[in-house]
């Protein structure tokens, strides 16, 4: 996945947090094609030394004083993480830092003794007052060997927020609701009916949309694929098809785009048994199922103005005919169909090959690509088609 080619990021690593944070962060940034310059503050240099930094980033390491003296320009984004109180104060007082034009993201690192809600609020106020962005710590901490723990946003969260900061922003201000993952239909406290979806395609869509500036509501079933730690993605966990229907119908009106790619169970047990169903003496067991609500169909036929609607279709045969029929029956603006029997397409793989059916009859065949690349192409088409409405 290459997204950052030609763009330059400066990462300032401060204090003992350099022990746990800097290597994974630089590695993920460089992997996307970004050119990364690393600056180590004096306290970080005591611990790791400049060779460590230049080996990681492929460029000579800059000292924090050099930035102050020579100015901080020529970057597409600047990330300061972990940032101590002292460094944040120095940045605030420095004319070089106050003249910076590109996005500046600051991930403060707090020792357990200083870690409380008031301290985070105060940091937020200081950082936002300069037009910089705070990356708050989630539940994650960074263990600095013998030096103990530091509360700081994870390297993963810092990476994701950097990608948002350097993104194209062509979905800025758009609110997108995405459904993904399987649903689980409980029969008793132990058993449930589900399917093979991991939710990976919907997560790729959510991530790429957030990188492009959108705010994403991700309504997801019980998934095995992790949700990226991005502020602009709001996860809404649900379990059954009925839960997903209720959450989607309650939230969707507030969005300009809905992309429904969940593998929703079409049937659910007629009855739920509060106690575990015991095995009988018969050789067979029949579980009676009833239809679940069709969420895509319900959004497609919502009264009044509805969001731009993208559906998915998982097919094993007659892909074109089935997809065209679903596009029309569910009143979608776009429908992305994939043949789940093809290798490299469908459940639990990193790639997908979809054919996009557009309202009005146009059909666009996409090559097999990573799910992130497929997501980008789908979002390109959403932008293109929305501008026609």
Residues that bind ligand CTP (CB under 6 A): 179, 241, 260-262, 264, 266, 292, 294-296, 311-314, 326
For residues 351 and 200, give the distance between their C-alpha atoms in angstroms, rounded to a whole number.
Answer: 10
Task: Tell me whether residue 20 is one of the annotated catalytic residues.
Answer: no
Compare residues 78 and 265 and give the one whose CB is closer to ligand CTP: 265
- Within 8 A by CB and 6+ apart from 289, the residues are 185, 193, 267, 268, 269, 270
Active-site residue (options: 142, 261, 332, 336): 142
- Closest separation between CB of residue 65 and ligand CTP, Å? 55
Nearer to ligand CTP, 100 or 260 (CB): 260
For residues 186 and 267, give the distance between their C-alpha atoms in angstroms, rounded to a whole number: 11
> 257, 310 in Cβ contact below 8 A?
yes
Of 309, 202, 194, whose CA–CA distance to 262 is shortest?
202
Query: Distance between CA atoms of 51 and 161, rounded to whole angstroms?
Result: 27
> What is the token pair recorded at 254?
């507030």
Neighbours of 140 (CB within 10 A): 13
| CA 283-284-290 angle, 5° bins | 165
- The Cα–Cα gap between 389 and 386 comes to 5
Question: Smallest distance from the beta carbon of 373 to ligand CTP, in angstroms?
Answer: 20
| Shortest separation between residue 170's beta carbon and ligand CTP, angstroms | 24
Closest distance between ligand CTP and the C-beta of residue 298, in Å? 8
Residue nearest to ligand CTP (CB): 295
Rank residues 252 and 264 by Cβ distance to ligand CTP and give the closer one. 264
* Residue 24: its H or E element: helix 22-31
What are the residues whose beta carbons fall under 8 Å from the beta carbon of 217, sequence distance 6 or more?
A: 175, 176, 177, 178, 234, 236, 251, 255
Q: How near is the Cβ of 323 to ligand CTP at its closest, in Å? A: 9
- Respond yes or no on whether the N-terminal peptide bond of residue 170 is cis (omega within 30° of 0): no
Q: How far apart are CA 202 and CA 261, in angstroms?
A: 6
Cβ closest to ligand CTP, residue 233 vs residue 264 = 264
Query: To the nearest whole angstrom, how small is the minimum distance from the Cβ of residue 105 to ligand CTP?
Result: 35
Active site residues: 142
């Amino acid at each position: 996945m290459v997204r950052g080619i030609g763009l330059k990021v400066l990462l300032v690593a401060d204090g003992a947090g350099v022990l746990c944070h800097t290597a994974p962060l630089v590695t993920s940034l460089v992997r996307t094609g970004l050119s990364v310059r690393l600056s180590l503050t004096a306290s970080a240099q005591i611990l790791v030394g400049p060779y460590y930094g230049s080996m990681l980033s492929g460029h000579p390491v800059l000292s924090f004083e050099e930035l102050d003296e020579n100015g901080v320009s020529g970057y597409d984004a600047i990330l300061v993480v972990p940032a101590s109180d002292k460094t944040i104060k120095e940045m605030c007082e420095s004319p070089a830092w106050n003249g910076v034009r590109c996005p500046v993201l600051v991930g403060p690192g707090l020792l357990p003794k200083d870690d409380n809600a008031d301290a985070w609020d105060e940091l937020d106020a200081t950082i936002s007052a300069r037009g910089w962005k705070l990356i708050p710590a989630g539940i994650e901490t960074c263990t600095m060997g013998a030096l103990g723990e530091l509360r700081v946003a994870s390297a993963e969260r810092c990476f994701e927020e950097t990608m948002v900061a350097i993104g194209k922003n062509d979905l800025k201000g758009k609110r997108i609701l995405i459904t993904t993952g399987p649903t689980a239909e409980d029969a008793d406290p132990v058993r449930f009916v589900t399917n093979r979806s991991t939710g990976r395609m919907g997560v790729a869509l959510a991530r790429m949309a957030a990188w492009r500036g959108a705010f994403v509501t991700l309504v997801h079933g019980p998934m095995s694929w992790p949700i990226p730690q991005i502020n602009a993605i709001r996860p809404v966990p649900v379990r059954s098809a009925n839960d997903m229907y209720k959450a989607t119908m309650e939230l969707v009106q507030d969005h300009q785009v809905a992309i429904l790619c969940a593998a929703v169970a079409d049937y659910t047990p007629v009855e739920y048994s509060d106690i575990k169903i015991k095995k009988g003496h018969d050789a067979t067991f029949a579980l009676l199922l009833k239809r679940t609500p069709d969420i895509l169909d319900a959004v497609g036929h919502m009264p009044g103005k509805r969001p731009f609607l993208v559906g998915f279709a998982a097919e094993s045969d007659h892909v074109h005919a089935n997809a065209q029929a679903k596009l029309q029956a569910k009143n979608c603006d776009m429908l992305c169909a994939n043949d789940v029997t093809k290798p490299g397409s469908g459940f639990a793989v990193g790639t997908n090959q979809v054919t996009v059916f557009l309202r009005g009859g146009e059909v666009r065949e996409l090559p097999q690509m990573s799910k992130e690349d497929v997501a980008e192409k789908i979002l390109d088409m959403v932008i293109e088609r929305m501008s026609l409405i």
